[in-house]
Amino acid sequence: MGNFILLWLGILFVGLVIGIGIYIHQPMFGNMPSGERLERIKGSPHYIDGEFKNLEPATQIVEGNRFIVLWDFLFGKKEQLIPQKLIPVEKVDLKAFNKSEDIIIWLGHSSYYMQLDGKSILIDPVFSAYASPISFINKAFDGTNPYTAEDIPDIDVLLISHDHWDHLDYSTIMSLKPRINQVVCALGVGAYFEEWGFEKKQIFEEDWFAEIPLQENFAVYILPAQHFSGRLLKSNQTLWASFAITTKNHRVFYSGDGGYGKHFKEIGERFGNFDIAIMENGQYNKAWARIHMMPEETAQAAEDIQAKVLLPAHAGKFALSKHSWEEPFNRIVEASEGKNYRLITPKLGEIMEIGNDEQVFTHWWE
């Protein structure tokens, strides 16, 4: 009897291993960079000892046991961290806009649709109901997916800051694929798009501090962030980034994810006078303080890069940390008092007109 039980346990274990192996080879997981792309990566000064490194030392977990922190992050109680009623949202017809209108629309979390000097730009789009490979982890708040891929017009440039699930969503990308002209990302991230059927000529993939001139008077600069990467078991094989988008009339900064560091001042000294900075402000925790900014650090970073307007991102859709869902908004309002920039807090889906200082936005989360 004992041998029979051991046999069945062995069969179940082998079956489980095979099942996991099949599951993680689904296209959404992607493959690690290889071949010519990997050789380019190995030539990067930021790729050291087999992985990408931040400009400053940045341990992912700075407080507590790593496995306990991860377990709490994935499976800890989050009932009090989600809105008790539907978040107010607006939905406009994105395809009806004249391309000459300079606008930004928050699509939830860190997803943004932008029109800038006649160019349509989409940043880190995630239209799925969850930000993970498993449907019951990192579920979106009810009502925070008013936009779908079908609502998005043709996109001149898709910007992807890094390969985490809440910024690079397979189903969203595949739904948008026919309408994406060019993809801009940091080293290694292009491997996902190539595997998912994008043509090489569509993918612009560079290291930190690289300029990508897409058209006359239109360029994207891939800039540092203080974060990490990886979609499953192996980390830091692709690079994470922030972006500066420059046109004839405007400059926009997008921070992506990351902790506070000296790179913000360097970016400010190099570019400065950003019309607007879309900055991470949410999903922070003392346990990972080096890879996600606290709101007070977000406020300082906005000043460091010399932003005229601050638009906070990375909150209001997913509960990825232990703070209440509205806390990031309250803290950034307080931290922005007396600063040299103007803080704006549009609702999800609300139109923000770039350069219109007369627009008024409410504290809708209250």
Positive or negative: CA dihedral 39, 48, 21, 319: negative
- 25-40: string of b/e by CB count within 10 Å (b at 16+)? eeebbbeebeeebbeb
Report yes or no on 358 lying in a domain.
no
The whole-angstrom distance between residue 59's C-alpha and the CA centroid of its chain comes to 19
- State what percent of residues in the chain have pLDDT above 70: 88
**Closest residue by Cα to residue 83 from 313, 331, 316:** 316
Instruction: Based on the fold, state whether residues 218 and 95 are members of the same structural domain.
Output: yes
Distance in angstroms (rounded) separating the CA atoms of residues 196 and 163: 14
Distance in angstroms (rounded) separating the CA atoms of residues 69 and 63: 9
Q: Is the pLDDT of residue 268 over 90?
A: yes
Domain count, the chain: 2
Which domain, by its residues, includes 12? 1-30
- Mean pLDDT (whole number) for 81-108: 95
pLDDT in tens, 177-198: 999 999 999 999 999 999 999 9
Lateral strand order in the sheet of 342-343: 210-215, 218-223, 242-247, 251-254, 276-280, 309-313, 342-343
Report yes or no on 60 lying in a domain.
no
Report yes or no on 42 lying in a domain.
no
Distance in angstroms (rounded) separating the CA atoms of residues 339 and 194: 43
Quick one: pLDDT at residue 80?
A: 80
Quick one: pLDDT at residue 211?
A: 98
Q: Is the pLDDT of residue 9 over 50?
A: no
Quick one: pLDDT at residue 25?
A: 54
Choose between 335 and 18: higher pLDDT.
335
CATH code of residue 275: 3.60.15.10
- Mean pLDDT (whole number) for 325-346: 97
Q: Tell me the backbone φ, ψ of residue 79, rounded to 5 degrees.
A: -55, -40
- Mean pLDDT (whole number) for 226-242: 93
Q: What is the DSSP string of 226-258?
A: S----SSS--SSS---EEEEEESS-EEEE--S-
CA–CA distances in Å: residue 199 to residues 12, 21, 104, 177, 194: 41, 28, 28, 11, 6
**Token digits for 115?**
């029109």
Quick one: pLDDT at residue 21?
A: 42
Distance in angstroms (rounded) separating the CA atoms of residues 82 and 78: 7
Supply the angle between the helices 295-304 and 327-335 in degrees, to the nearest 10.
Answer: 40
Report yes or no on 220 lying in a domain.
yes
Instruction: Based on the fold, state whether residues 106 and 26 are members of the same structural domain.
Output: no
Instruction: Based on the fold, state whether residues 109 and 223 are members of the same structural domain.
Output: yes
Instruction: Based on the fold, state whether residues 120 and 4 are members of the same structural domain.
Output: no
Hey, how many other C-beta atoms are within 10 angstroms of the C-beta on 268?
20
Q: Is the pLDDT of residue 311 over 50?
A: yes
